[in-house]
Every structure is written in structure tokens, then in C-alpha cells.
Homo-oligomer: A and B are copies of this chain.
Amino acid sequence: MARTIPLSPLARELPALTTIRGVRLGAAEAGIRYRGRTDLVMAEFVEGTSVAGVFTRSKCPGAPVDWCRAALPGGRARALVVNAGNANVFTGRAGVETTQATAAGAARLAQCPAAEVFLASTGVIGEVLPAEKITDALPALHASLSDDGWEAAARGIMTTDTFPKAAVREVALGGTTVRLQGIAKGSGMIAPDMATMLCFVATDAAVPSGTLQTLLSASVDRTFNRTTVDSDTSTSDMVLLFATGQAGNAPVDGPEDEALAPFAEALESLLRDLALLVVRDGEGATKMMEIRVSGAVDDQSAGRVAMAIANSPLVKTAIAGEDANWGRIVMAVGKCGEPANRDTLSVGIGGTWIARDGTVVEGYDETPVVAHMKGQDIEIDVDLGLGNGRNVAWSCDLTHGYIDINGSYRS
């Protein structure tokens, strides 16, 4: 793939990365599809690591998603293998065999059961992923794993991403300081319905897998599942959270344990960071949108309205054109089928209410809104005036860049 996609104007530098006790990782060139860059990532976790995961709701998931779903109930993880360039989706029996061979190869190196190996693949759909390219590269990759391989891993899982994505948190858990660190990839085919593309988070906290799963599922619903780039849900979406327990915190007592509150908050905040980094790298994106909906009949309804605005091509192209075309926001509210009443609907952009209760605000002055539209971070407020439901969605604009990236031969 010789195409060069320019760096997203919304890109963020990698934060200063740390290490997570009990995690060693790295990346290698397996030559699966790309040339001259890493495309295979491995992480090894210390014995006793618990795991939680959420996956795409696609009815046509990739073979690695099936593999992880089957492995998850065990609640234990010792290794993770990720490749970029081939999603191992819609590859029939060959795809299943590739996951088995990859897991077996990693299990031999990590000296663990294959069911404690987690797998992810991202890239083209419908082409067979040759297992031996991975299994041949794994021994040298395994020998090179280190505490500080996080940046290499963040780069090794990229596909059409224009920058690597990572986030770090440090938080107290029952008197002990624990860390969380995560990486993500994703740029197109982003409309997570459970999780988005690939995101891997590790913590040195000791949290049993059931509790970890509860925290992860709730956080993903409020972060990754509130973002969209192009309304297209990937077949390979996956967020995995590994807890190595090396921080030595006191045992936690289920997801309701009050000592977990700061940890849960830090996890959600970290996942929000990573989710927004994916939107910031949305294919062709030049502007971010935060859409805040209030006054809905309930939070779920508010979420659907926010997502209808976030996914509307006409809203997204208006944002790209720096056009405060609030009529298109009204259209998107109207089309999504959720309870709405034209005559109680209010719309604002950049903190200025443009329309209230079904008509334009008397003496509406477009000046501050026009100035806001020239910025990179666009805020849209919608008040449905029906109830107390509220929710948010994050999206990006739709530009020529998206067409360039996806309208050329076989991205």
C-alpha cells in the first residue's frame, strides 16, 4: 500500500508513556500486507492477569472476534497478538485455522493454554490471512518484548490511521496507586456498536474479571459507543482490558465497591481520550463535532438523536464548509424516528441558541456562530424540550479527504 494519507489536522501528540507492571510488549514486521513498517504486535501478561472485553455487534464478525468471545469467559489472559493489514473476516474455515495456529504459536512462547491468548486483526476483508507469516515472526518478536514497547505497539496496529493513539491515567485504588495505559487504532469504518476498531488497555490493578467486565462495558457505552466517523460498523471492533494485579492493591469487592469509583472514573476518562483520538483521526476529518442533546424523553432517545446528527452527511458536509446550517440539524432530528416536537425544539451552535421552540430566535445574530464554525472543535446543542433525557455524540466532518481515502482502489 504505497498511498500516503496526510496527517490529520486534528492529530494529537502521543502523551508521555509509562510502563504497566506485568505487561511486556513489542512490534515486528511480518510482511502481511504493508511493506517497510511493523504490522504484528504481541503483548505478554504476567500470570494472574484478568481480562474483560467488548466486541462488535456485527452479524459478520471476524474470526479473531469469535476466538476472543470464546476465550473471554475464562477471565484470564497471558498473551495478545494483533496484526494489521488483513482483518481475517469472511475467510471461512481458513480464517478459523489461522486463529488456531496463531494462538497455538503464542501459547507455546508464553507457556500458557491457547485459551489465554487473545487475538485481533484489522485490515482488508475477505482475503485469507496466512498463519505462517504470523507464526514465523512470533518467536523473534516474543524475544524482543519489553516493558516500554507501548509506542511500538501503538504504531504496529495502525491501518489508515495517520497518527498513533495512546492515553495514560494514574489513580488511587484502596490506598494504592495504580496505573492504566491504553492504545487504540481506528480511522474509517467507525460507528462502534459495542466497541470500536481495536483498543487495548492494561492496568497493574488487581481487579477480578467479572468486575473488570462490568466497569469496561459501562465505560465503553459512554465513550467509544458515542462516537462515529462514517456510520459504518466494523466487523472487527474490539476493546480489551487487562489487569495484571501487580500494583498489589487490596482486593476489591465487586463492581459496587466504593474504593473502585476513582478507578472507574479514570478508566472512563482514558477510554474517552482514546475514542476521541479515533474521531480526531477520522478519515478526511478537519473538524471535530460534539453534539449534546438534552430534553429528550430518556437518555437512550437523546443518544439516538445525537447519533443521527453525528451521522448525517448533510450536517457533516455543512460543518466541513463552515456553514452554520442549523436547518440540517433540524432535519436530522426529524428523520431519526425518536420522539421530537418541532414546536419545542431548540438548536444552538457554539453556545449560541439559534432557534428556540420551533422558530429562529428573534434578532438572531450569526456573527459569533460564524466565528465558532471557523474553529476545529464544533459544539452543537439540541434541546428537545420534552423530558430530562440527555446524551452526547462525537463525530467529525465529511470532506474530500474521506472520498480520496475510500474511493481509490482497495484501501
Interface residues of A (CB under 8 A from B): 56-61, 87, 89-95, 124-128, 188-189, 191, 193, 230-235, 311-314, 317-318, 320-323, 325-328, 330-343, 345, 355, 357-360, 398-400, 402-403, 406-410
| A87 nearest in chain B by CB position | B327
Q: Is the pair B406, A321 in contact by a Cβ cutoff of 8 Å?
A: yes
A-B contact pairs, 24 of them (CB 8 A): A58-B335, A59-B335, A59-B340, A59-B341, A60-B333, A90-B359, A94-B359, A125-B328, A125-B331, A126-B360, A128-B360, A189-B331, A191-B335, A231-B311, A232-B328, A233-B334, A233-B335, A313-B402, A314-B406, A317-B407, A321-B407, A321-B408, A323-B407, A400-B403
Closest CB pairs A-B (n = 8): A125-B327, A92-B359, A60-B334, A58-B334, A233-B335, A317-B406, A321-B407, A59-B340
Q: Is the pair B403, A232 in contact by a Cβ cutoff of 8 Å?
A: no
Q: Is the pair A327, B89 in contact by a Cβ cutoff of 8 Å?
A: yes
Contacts of A410 in B (CB 8 A): 323, 325
Q: A61-B342, A230-B313, A320-B403 are in contact. List 5 more A-B contacts (CB 8 A).
A: A231-B231, A313-B402, A317-B403, A317-B406, A399-B403
The CA of A341 and the CA of B61, in the complex, are separated in Å by 10
Contacts of A322 in B (CB 8 A): 409
The CA of A408 and the CA of B313, in the complex, are separated in Å by 13
- Whether A189 contacts B91 in the complex (CB less than 8 A), given A126-B355, A335-B232, A400-B400, comes out as no
**Whole-angstrom distance between the Cβ of A68 and the nearest chain B Cβ:** 16
Interface SS majority for chain A: loop
Tell which of A56, A188, A230, A331 has the most Cβ of chain B within 10 Å.
Answer: A331
Q: Is the pair A60, B330 in contact by a Cβ cutoff of 8 Å?
A: yes
| A191 nearest in chain B by CB position | B335
Q: Is the pair A320, B92 in contact by a Cβ cutoff of 8 Å?
A: no
**Whole-angstrom distance between the Cβ of A188 and the nearest chain B Cβ:** 7
Q: Is the pair A92, B358 in contact by a Cβ cutoff of 8 Å?
A: yes
| A409 nearest in chain B by CB position | B323
**Whole-angstrom distance between the Cβ of A198 and the nearest chain B Cβ:** 15
Contacts of A312 in B (CB 8 A): 231-232
| A405 nearest in chain B by CB position | B317
The CA of A37 and the CA of B410, in the complex, are separated in Å by 43
- Whether A331 contacts B124 in the complex (CB less than 8 A), given A313-B406, A317-B407, comes out as no
The CA of A403 and the CA of B17, in the complex, are separated in Å by 38
| A397 nearest in chain B by CB position | B407
Q: Is the pair A125, B330 in contact by a Cβ cutoff of 8 Å?
A: yes
Contacts of A407 in B (CB 8 A): 317-318, 320-321, 323, 398-399
Contacts of A339 in B (CB 8 A): 59
**Whole-angstrom distance between the Cβ of A255 and the nearest chain B Cβ:** 28
Tell which of A61, A127, A321, A355 has the most Cβ of chain B within 10 Å.
Answer: A321
**Whole-angstrom distance between the Cβ of A387 and the nearest chain B Cβ:** 15
The CA of A337 and the CA of B334, in the complex, are separated in Å by 22
**Whole-angstrom distance between the Cβ of A32 and the nearest chain B Cβ:** 16
**Whole-angstrom distance between the Cβ of A366 and the nearest chain B Cβ:** 11
- Whether A231 contacts B406 in the complex (CB less than 8 A), given A60-B340, A328-B125, comes out as no
**Whole-angstrom distance between the Cβ of A393 and the nearest chain B Cβ:** 16
The CA of A94 and the CA of B93, in the complex, are separated in Å by 64
**Whole-angstrom distance between the Cβ of A386 and the nearest chain B Cβ:** 11
Contacts of A60 in B (CB 8 A): 330-331, 333-334, 340, 342, 345
**Whole-angstrom distance between the Cβ of A123 and the nearest chain B Cβ:** 10
Q: Is the pair A188, B314 in contact by a Cβ cutoff of 8 Å?
A: yes
**Whole-angstrom distance between the Cβ of A271 and the nearest chain B Cβ:** 21
| A236 nearest in chain B by CB position | B331
